[in-house]
């Protein structure tokens, strides 16, 4: 583990799409996820290569969607490869959403 930080998202706050360069595995442990809190939104890594692809239906299987949102509960741990673009949309909860995120790198 080469980095660790605490995220406190106030009501209405989010975290724009990003990746974690120089890491191999990234993750988040969820401490507080009040009702209305936003989940972790993962972007299909093929998205930028599908300029001429037909539009995706809202009821498409999860594997064919442009974005997949994972909804955590307190105590949930999510791990993903650090090159995968992800974000937290603005949260709709009335209390802070608190999580601890981290990265692992080859050293």
* Dist CA 74 CA 4 (whole Å): 18
Is residue 59 one of the residues assigned to a domain? no
> pLDDT tens digit string along 44-56?
887 666 667 777 7
* 69, part of any domain: yes
Of all residues in the chain, the percent with pLDDT exceeding 70 is: 94
Q: Per the structure, how many domains does the chain have?
A: 1
CA 46, 52, 54, 56 dihedral sign is positive
Asked, for residue 40, whether it belongs to a domain, the answer is yes
pLDDT at 15 over 90: yes
Under 8 Å between Cβ of 30 and 75: yes
- DSSP E strands in 1-107: the ranges are 3-9, 15-18, 25-32, 40-43, 67-70, 77-81, 86-88, 97-104
Residue 57 lies in a domain: no
Give the domain CATH number at 37.
Answer: 2.60.120.620
Average pLDDT over residues 82-92: 94
Within a domain: 52: no
Domain assignment present for 76: yes
Assess if residue 35 is contained within a domain: yes
For residue 72, the enclosing domain spans 3-45+65-104
């Amino acid at each position: 583990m080469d980095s660790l930080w605490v995220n406190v998202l106030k009501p209405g706050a989010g975290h724009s799409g990003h990746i974690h360069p120089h890491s191999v595995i990234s993750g988040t442990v969820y401490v507080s996820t009040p009702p209305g809190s936003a989940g972790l939104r993962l972007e299909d890594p093929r998205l930028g290569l599908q300029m001429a692809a037909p539009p995706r239906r809202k009821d498409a299987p999860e594997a064919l969607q442009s974005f997949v949102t994972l909804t955590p509960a307190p105590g949930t741990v999510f791990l993903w490869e650090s090159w995968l673009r992800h974000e937290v949309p603005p949260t709709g909860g009335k209390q802070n959403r608190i999580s601890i995120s981290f990265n692992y790198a080859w050293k």
